[in-house]
């Protein structure tokens, strides 16, 4: 227990390494025949990456920065949540949606509600731009999981491939990735910048919320082709551009001092996440073109590329940035830095292939020969990078409240 208490960040990174191995195995199966169930491994890869890596890392970072005391309540909840994640690591690859994985997933959802309650209870009365965003992120966390309770009955009545079932999954992914995860990392970034509440922030916050709600029109349109959902998505994209504008106004006068205290790799990580975020907005803006909006869901490589852009380019890059800020030992920091370089190289190489191959859906002449082989090769860089980051995470101690950046 004492060892785990000192090295808590190693747990989500370990989960990330397992998710990366699942992903590498999936890409290996596209190149070589292997005795695994592809669908089961896909579920394992996505669940462990989302719930085992990002959720668990955000659990620690939000408690550290917004509560400042990782008490026994948080410790016990974190460890039992990890047990649920281990259930998914065992259950999904061996049985898909079987007894073990369903029980583990259900427990995770219940534990996420307890985490929300603990966070709200321990931050009551605290106010700033960051605290407002953090609370909003927890709202999206809870609302996104509502769909998972409905998924079982929908599958039982209409089948796993029915439109309601598939749309329910899209609802969860949309409000997890674009809601809970994205709002949480923006909250952390605003916390680092020490942004106060203001009228400009209120405009940003409202536009950010409305962009999330209205852009859900695009996945709805994939299953129910009505023009109202295309207009809904268009309104959401406009709100997203407004949020980007107001967000830039907010941080314009605050980021320079913060940025000046960072080393070159921390700066690069932050810039990498920012560029990935801009690319995300750019790709969503392209969805305003009717032909692209209509067929994008059938373009599997583009969809996978977009999800990985969110999970790896924006969310994971920022999480590694936030974790790395706490490392003071030069050797440990250098080891994590090398791992991050491998990780970022893997992202760039695999994303370029996925998104470029996605263009071949519209322009067949652009198709990359043996693209599955190159995806497999470049995926080793991701796994190697995460492994080195895990070794680094095992060599620095978790603190209830990290030191101020620059001290």
Is 70 inside any structural domain? yes
Q: Which domain holds residue 60?
A: 1-127
For residue 405, the model assigns a pLDDT of: 55
Q: What is the pTM of this model?
A: 0.93
φ, ψ (nearest 5 deg) of residue 127: -140, 140
Whether residue 89 lies inside any domain: the answer is yes
Mean pLDDT of all residues in 332-348: 93
In a domain? residue 264 = no
- The per-residue pLDDT for range 232-259, each reduced to its tens digit, is 999 999 999 999 999 999 998 888 888 8
Indicate the number of domains in the chain.
1
pLDDT higher for 79 or 368?
79
Confidence category of residue 69, pLDDT binned at 50, 70, 90: confident
Hey, what long-range contacts does 25-28 have (CB within 8 A, 24 or more apart)? 27/372, 27/375, 27/376, 27/379, 28/376
Q: Answer yes or no: is 93 within a domain.
A: yes
Does residue 249 belong to any structural domain of this protein? Answer: no
> What pLDDT does 407 receive?
42
Output 372 or 80, whichever has higher pLDDT: 80
How confident is the model over 165-199, as pLDDT tens digits? 889 989 999 999 999 999 999 999 999 999 998 99
**What is the predicted pLDDT for the residue at 301?**
66
Q: Which candidate, 243, 239, 268, 143, places its Cα nearest to that of 186?
A: 243
Whether 7 is covered by a domain: the verdict is yes
What's residue 365's pLDDT? Answer: 66
Higher pLDDT: 5 or 182? It is 182
Q: Is the pLDDT of residue 406 over 50?
A: no
Q: pLDDT of 291-324, one tens digit each?
A: 666 666 666 666 777 788 888 889 999 999 999 9
The pLDDT assigned to 188 comes to 97
More reliable by pLDDT, 309 or 362: 309
Domain for residue 55, yes or no? yes
pLDDT score for 363: 63
- Rounded to a whole number of angstroms, the CA Rg of the chain reads 21
Lowest model confidence (mean pLDDT) among 42-46, 48-52, 65-69, 362-366: 362-366
User: Which has the higher per-residue pLDDT, 364 or 334?
Assistant: 334
Q: pLDDT higher for 367 or 313?
A: 313
- List helix spans (H) across 96-198: 99-122, 129-158, 163-173, 182-193
Q: What is the pLDDT of residues 263-292, one digit of tens each?
A: 999 999 999 999 999 989 988 888 787 766
* 182-193 vs 129-158: helix crossing angle, rounded to 10: 170
Looking at 215-329, list the stretches that DSSP marks H as alpha helix, in order from N- to C-terminal side: 217-223, 227-251, 255-260, 264-286, 290-295, 300-308, 317-324
Kindly state whether residue 8 falls inside one of the protein's structural domains: yes
């Amino acid at each position: 227990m004492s060892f785990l208490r000192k090295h808590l960040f190693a747990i989500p990174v370990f989960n990330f390494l397992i998710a990366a191995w699942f992903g590498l195995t999936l890409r290996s199966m596209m190149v070589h025949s292997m005795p695994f169930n592809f669908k089961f491994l896909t579920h394992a890869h996505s669940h462990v990456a989302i719930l085992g890596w990002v959720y668990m890392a955000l659990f620690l970072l939000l408690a550290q920065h917004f509560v400042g005391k990782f008490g026994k309540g948080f410790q016990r909840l974190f460890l039992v949540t990890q047990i649920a994640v281990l259930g998914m690591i065992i259950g999904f690859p061996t049985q898909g949606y079987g007894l073990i994985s369903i029980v583990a997933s259900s427990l995770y959802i219940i534990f996420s509600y307890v985490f929300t309650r603990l966070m709200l209870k321990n931050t009551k009365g605290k106010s700033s731009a960051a605290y407002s965003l953090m609370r909003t992120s927890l709202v999206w966390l809870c609302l996104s999981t509502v769909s998972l309770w409905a998924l079982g009955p929908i599958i039982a009545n209409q089948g796993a491939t029915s439109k309601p079932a598939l749309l329910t999954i899209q609802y969860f992914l949309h409000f997890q990735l674009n809601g809970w995860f994205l709002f949480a990392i923006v909250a952390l970034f605003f916390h680092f910048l020490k942004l106060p509440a203001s009228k400009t922030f209120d405009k940003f916050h409202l536009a950010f919320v409305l962009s999330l709600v209205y852009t859900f029109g695009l996945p709805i349109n994939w299953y129910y082709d009505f023009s109202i959902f295309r207009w809904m998505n268009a309104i959401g994209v406009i709100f997203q551009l407004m949020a980007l504008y107001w967000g830039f106004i907010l941080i314009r006068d605050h980021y320079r001092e913060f940025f000046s205290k960072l080393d070159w790799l921390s700066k690069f990580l932050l810039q990498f996440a920012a560029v990935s975020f801009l690319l995300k907005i750019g790709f969503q803006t392209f969805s305003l073109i009717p032909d692209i909006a209509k067929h994008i869901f059938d373009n599997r490589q583009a969809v996978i590329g977009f999800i990985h852009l969110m999970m790896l380019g924006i969310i994971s890059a920022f999480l590694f940035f936030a974790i790395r800020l706490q490392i003071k030992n030069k050797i440990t920091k250098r080891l994590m830095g090398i791992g991050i370089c491998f990780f970022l190289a893997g992202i760039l190489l695999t994303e370029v292939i996925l998104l470029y191959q996605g263009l071949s859906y519209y322009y067949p002449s652009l198709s990359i020969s043996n693209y599955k082989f190159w995806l497999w090769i470049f995926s080793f860089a991701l796994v190697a990078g995460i492994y080195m980051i895990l070794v680094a995470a095992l060599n620095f101690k978790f603190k209830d409240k990290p030191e101020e950046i620059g001290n």
